[in-house]
């Protein structure tokens, strides 16, 4: 059960999509023609797609399967799903959508929680699940990935050849979409973010044209795609850098503490994180959640310490927490692919099943924990859940990654703006399906984020793109240096002047 409750501290390590402030509704100047009916769709677009492709409409079982999301309150509106079979199918579908001035949205795995997703109305879902290519180059230095791959199948394919690279912390989350927004993961102390390993991309643009994007081909788009990619195109294939595995084994120790230990536990976490200098082999996650095996009345604190290597070598990093006398502890030594399951974030684990109910997410990037404020955050969480049991599935995720390779990258070299964040906090209000609690959840999430920000000594809000709720200022998501947004807006005007890619992180 301890492991089960640690799941949500990890699953959103890499989300399939990103979010920012809900924009003013945008409508192209031309009035959209009437939507084609099913027969017209089959006749017009169906004949232009590959034999692998398929169309699904409301009422069909596969349509429901492909449009079900991890958070069921995040509901884009689609009148058809196009399950593409090739890169050309993506281009064909985009051109068709433009012809009829129809919204379109590419989907990999559907784990995004941004409010802006719900602004899709009568749109076309472009489902990428068939684009599952994973090919390791003969020299073992790169891999080619299809746009629909996800962490579990990539990690296992690389592990089979003794390789690894940047990937997320939950097996079910799409790798490509998450990588376009950053891509935190357990190996980033060695390899950097997922986006730091992207060498080139095949991108379908807003007009349906295709571009090859790399450091030497469309370099301005290469810069923008790595951190703000969902504003500019649909990635159907990419090449990314891979590496020899660091260790054949990984170690995980999961410890549970009651509230009375919160201050010493987080003081020890500050020592471990060491202002962003934590060793590359160490990763830590903390979670506030209810665990009825420990207490039916009070939430608990779960601490997960991962180590790239053996239990013996991990001892100096784990022992200080064991000395604080957790009420429960479990440990595992396993391979990297199996660490997903040890942590409760494997492909078949509860948290990867859809849907999980209704949920929002409020991110905050920190450099260090303000321990008294974190204690207040715990109490705010506990009080709300005890007063309204419909929120009993909610939790608070506090993630500490090793950042050596992330900070070694020139911050100006990509659109990703948060390389100085040492800690990633995610406040996750989650409520009973069918309960009308959106407004209460938003009030609670806003209050929690305001509280955490009050302990940052005036540091402006930092909102990781893949976690952003949808109400943040653009600067919080894309960076406060004026040149960043100026450059992104200029590129947006050039590559997407009709604002077709406006449902994730819309650069307005």
Range of the domain at 255: 248-478
Mean pLDDT of 243-263: 97
Task: Report how far residue 481's alpha carbon sits from residue 491's, in angstroms, rounded to the nearest whole number.
Answer: 16
The pLDDT confidence band at residue 239, using thresholds 50, 70 and 90, is very high
Write down the pLDDT at residue 182: 95
Write down the pLDDT at residue 33: 53
Does the residue 153 lie in any domain?
Answer: yes
Is there a single domain that holds both residue 174 and residue 259?
Answer: no
Write down the pLDDT at residue 119: 87
Write down the pLDDT at residue 70: 84
- pLDDT, tens digit, 9 for 90 and up, residues 477-499: 999 999 999 999 999 999 999 99
The pLDDT confidence band at residue 345, using thresholds 50, 70 and 90, is confident
CATH code (residue 185): 3.30.465.10
Is there a single domain that holds both residue 268 and residue 234?
Answer: no
- Range in 9-13, 51-55, 69-73, 132-136 with the lowest mean pLDDT: 9-13
Write down the pLDDT at residue 241: 98
**With 70 as the cut, is the pLDDT of residue 372 above it?**
yes
Does the residue 206 lie in any domain?
Answer: yes
Is there a single domain that holds both residue 271 and residue 293?
Answer: yes
**With 60 as the cut, is the pLDDT of residue 339 above it?**
yes
Helix axes 262-273, 311-322, angle to 10 degrees: 140
Is there a single domain that holds both residue 274 and residue 212?
Answer: no
- β-sheet with 210-214: strand ranges across: 134-136, 142-146, 234-241, 198-204, 210-214
Is there a single domain that holds both residue 257 and residue 405?
Answer: yes
Give the residue among 507, 480, 504, 508 at the shortest CA–CA distance from 411: 480
Q: What percent of the chain has pLDDT over 90?
A: 80
Query: Which two structure tokens, joined as six digits, stand for 96?
Result: 């068709």
Sequence-separated (6 or more) residues with CB below 8 Å from residue 235:
147, 176, 177, 180, 201, 202, 203, 225, 229
Give the residue among 137, 140, 150, 165 at the shortest CA–CA distance from 336: 165
- pLDDT, tens digit, 9 for 90 and up, residues 287-330: 999 999 999 899 999 999 999 999 999 999 999 999 999 999 99
Is there a single domain that holds both residue 224 and residue 273?
Answer: no
Higher model confidence: residue 411 or residue 34?
A: 411
Is there a single domain that holds both residue 376 and residue 318?
Answer: yes
Is there a single domain that holds both residue 376 and residue 252?
Answer: yes
Is there a single domain that holds both residue 441 and residue 491?
Answer: no
Looking at the structure of the chain, the number of domains it has is: 2
Does the residue 18 lie in any domain?
Answer: no
Task: Provide the whole-model pTM.
Answer: 0.91
Write down the pLDDT at residue 313: 98
Is there a single domain that holds both residue 292 and residue 334?
Answer: yes
Is there a single domain that holds both residue 310 and residue 169?
Answer: no
Pairing of β 104-107 and β 123-127: parallel
Sequence-separated (6 or more) residues with CB below 8 Å from residue 315:
none
Phi, psi of 276 (to 5 degrees): 85, 10
Query: Which two structure tokens, joined as six digits, stand for 290?
Result: 């209810």
Pairing of β 198-204 and β 300-307: unpaired
What's the mean pLDDT when you consider all of the chain?
A: 91
**With 50 as the cut, is the pLDDT of residue 13 above it?**
no
- pLDDT, tens digit, 9 for 90 and up, residues 185-230: 999 999 999 999 999 999 999 999 999 999 999 999 999 999 999 9
Is there a single domain that holds both residue 234 and residue 286?
Answer: no
DSSP classification of residue 148: T
Does the residue 162 lie in any domain?
Answer: yes
Write down the pLDDT at residue 7: 37
Helix axes 219-228, 482-495, angle to 10 degrees: 110
**With 50 as the cut, is the pLDDT of residue 254 above it?**
yes
Query: Which two structure tokens, joined as six digits, stand for 42?
Result: 């089959």
Higher model confidence: residue 404 or residue 23?
A: 404
Write down the pLDDT at residue 109: 87
Q: Which residues share a beta bridge with 241?
A: 142
Instruction: Give the count of beta carbons closer than 10 Å to the beta carbon of residue 84.
Output: 29
- Range in 178-192, 222-236, 279-293, 349-363 with the lowest mean pLDDT: 349-363
């Amino acid at each position: 059960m301890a492991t089960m409750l640690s799941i949500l501290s990890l699953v959103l390590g890499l989300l399939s999509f990103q979010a920012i402030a809900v924009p003013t509704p945008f409508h192209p100047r031309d009035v959209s023609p009437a939507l084609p009916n099913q027969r017209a769709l089959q006749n017009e677009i169906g004949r232009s797609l590959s034999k692998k492709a398929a169309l699904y409409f409301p009422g069909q079982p596969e349509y429901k399967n492909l449009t079900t999301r991890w958070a069921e309150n995040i509901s884009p509106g689609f009148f058809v799903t196009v399950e593409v079979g090739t890169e050309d199918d993506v281009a064909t579908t985009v051109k068709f959508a433009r012809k009829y001035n129809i919204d379109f949205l590419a989907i990999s795995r559907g784990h995004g929680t941004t409010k802006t997703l719900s602004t899709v109305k009568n749109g076309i879902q472009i489902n990428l699940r068939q684009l599952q290519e994973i090919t390791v180059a003969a020299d073992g230095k790169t891999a080619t990935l299809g746009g629909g791959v996800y962490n579990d199948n990539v990690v296992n394919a690389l592990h089979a050849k003794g390789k690894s690279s940047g990937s997320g912390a939950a097996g079910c989350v799409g790798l490509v979409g998450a990588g376009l927004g950053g891509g935190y993961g357990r190996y980033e102390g060695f390899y950097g973010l997922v986006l730091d390993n992207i060498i080139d991309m095949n991108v379908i643009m807003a007009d349906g044209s295709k571009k090859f994007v790399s450091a030497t081909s469309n370099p301005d788009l290469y810069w923008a795609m790595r951190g703000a990619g969902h504003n500019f195109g649909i990635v159907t294939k990419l090449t990314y850098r891979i590496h020899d595995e660091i260790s054949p084994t990984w170690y995980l120790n999961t410890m549970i503490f009651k509230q009375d230990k919160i201050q010493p536990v987080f003081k020890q976490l500050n020592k471990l994180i060491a202002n962003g200098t934590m060793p590359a082999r160490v990763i830590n996650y903390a979670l506030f959640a209810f665990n009825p095996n420990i207490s039916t009345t009070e939430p608990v604190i779960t601490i997960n310490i991962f180590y790239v290597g053996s239990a013996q070598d991990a001892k100096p990093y784990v022992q200080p927490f064991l000395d604080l006398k957790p009420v429960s502890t479990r440990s595992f030594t396993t391979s990297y692919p199996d660490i997903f399951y040890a942590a409760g974030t494997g492909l078949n684990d509860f948290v990867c099943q859809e849907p999980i109910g209704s949920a929002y997410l409020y991110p905050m990037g920190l450099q260090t924990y303000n321990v008294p404020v974190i204690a207040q955050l715990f109490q705010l969480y506990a009080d709300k859940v005890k007063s309204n049991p419909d929120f009993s599935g909610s939790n608070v995720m506090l993630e500490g990654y090793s950042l050596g390779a992330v900070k070694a990258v020139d911050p100006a070299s990509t659109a990703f703006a948060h390389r100085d964040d040492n800690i990633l906090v995610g406040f996750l209000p989650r409520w009973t399906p069918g309960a009308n609690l959106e407004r209460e959840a938003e009030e609670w999430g806003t209050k929690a984020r305001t509280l955490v920000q009050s302990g940052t000594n005036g540091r402006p809000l930092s909102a990781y793109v893949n976690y952003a709720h949808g109400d943040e200022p653009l600067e919080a998501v894309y960076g406060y240096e004026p040149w960043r947004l100026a450059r992104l807006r200029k590129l947006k005007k050039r590559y997407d002047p009709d604002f077709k890619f406006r449902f994730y992180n819309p650069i307005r």
